Amino acid sequence: MSTDADAEIDHEGPVTPYRQLAEILKARIARGDWAEGRPIASETRLVQEYGLARSTVRRALDVLVEEGVVWKVQGRGTYVGQPPAGNS
């Protein structure tokens, strides 16, 4: 049983919003909304799309980073996959 990529955030329920968003984003990546090596939506965009605080969106992204699903670069964005080995 996986999460629906088109699900919305349920502020009631037992699962916290940031965990829900983390699952939704992973589902969207798996579905192909954003390809490997390409940037996903910006934090500001996700805030607008899901009606969450930026701090909550960042908390969700932290989960994905820990899981190695995405990696971030300040000033650029959040990319699908893992950081390149030899980066310049």
Partner DNA sequence: AGCAATTTGTTCGTATGTATT
Partner DNA sequence: CAATACATACGAACAAATTGC
Q: Identify the residue among 6, 76, 85, 88 touching DNA (CB under 7 A).
A: 76
Q: Identify the residue among 16, 27, 49, 81 touching DNA (CB under 7 A).
A: 16
Q: What values do phi and psi take at 35, rounded to 5?
A: -80, 160
The per-residue DSSP string of the chain comes to ----TT----SSSSS-HHHHHHHHHHHHHHHTSS-TTSB---HHHHHHHHT--HHHHHHHHHHHHHTTSEEEETTTEEEES---SS--
Q: Identify the residue among 53, 67, 83, 84 touching DNA (CB under 7 A).
A: 53
**Minimum Å distance from CB 56 to DNA?**
3
Q: Does 30 bind DNA (CB under 7 A)?
A: no
Q: Identify the residue among 3, 18, 24, 69 touching DNA (CB under 7 A).
A: 18
Q: Does 3 bind DNA (CB under 7 A)?
A: no
Interacting residues with DNA (CB under 7 A): 11, 16-19, 39, 42-45, 51-56, 58-59, 61, 72-78
